[in-house]
Structure 1
Amino acid sequence: MLPNEAGEVNNPLRDNIAWFLEAERQKRELPHQHMAELFKTSSGQGLAYRTYIRTMRKRNNVTLRTVEQMAQALEVSIATILVGGAKLKPWAHKLTEKSIRARLADIINSERERRKLLRYQMAELLGVSEITFTKLE
């Protein structure tokens, strides 16, 4: 996936995340800086303002761990953020980072085997590096 002239890559999940964060920010009537501060953990570690802004502008992808961190801070499920404003079945709210990763790995591996592709070929098909694919796997 290549970026367009605005530096954006067509990525529906990232669009959903950006949409949800903006809707939540407006609902809470917060400036961006204060919204980003919600994602700080108790130890002072947390989502960097730069990561938050780049996510809002659809200029980068975020990890599932980052989405989980956002969900915890906003007191919503990971699925709620990932689907944007779409309706969810009740079971989807129970998905954790670990369960989502396991399911993605199963889907990716079965699809790779079904297509009889090597790892580097599947990585290319997904538009990720081989290292990223190995992490997904």
Structure 2
Amino acid sequence: MDVQAAMVDERMLRRVIALLVSFADLAERVAGRSAPVRWLVLLILRHAEMVAEDFVFDAAGMPPAALEGIAAVGNDPDDALCLAARFYALAVALCALLPIGGRFDWRSVQRSLSSGPVAPGSGRALSGYAPKPNDTS
């Protein structure tokens, strides 16, 4: 496989994972909304979940699953949270397809953590950001 094609595939998978997590967040948020709003958003999200499920199974090379009986069909807040959990599960399944040892440098994080804990107001932070003291004037 071409290296450039592999990087594009990895980037695309990461974008799809981010989209699935954002759908899950939307489903969690709609659980607290009124019934008509919840009905409309869940209608759209259920269609997105079916498409995402087909994509995940296709990307994993698995046969399509017969999970229609398990999917929530109501419009209660619990059904919205169940749909959010399904989106999270699909995102985790796609994470398993990502190559191990991506471009993130874990050694730099370990070096920063081994230098000791970051005390509030010490001026040291992992990202190089030093919080400013509160202005009380």
Structure with more contact order per residue of length (Cα contacts < 8 Å, sep ≥ 6):
2
TM-score (norm 1): 0.23
User: Higher Cα Rg: structure 1 or 2?
Assistant: 2
TM-score by length of 2: 0.23
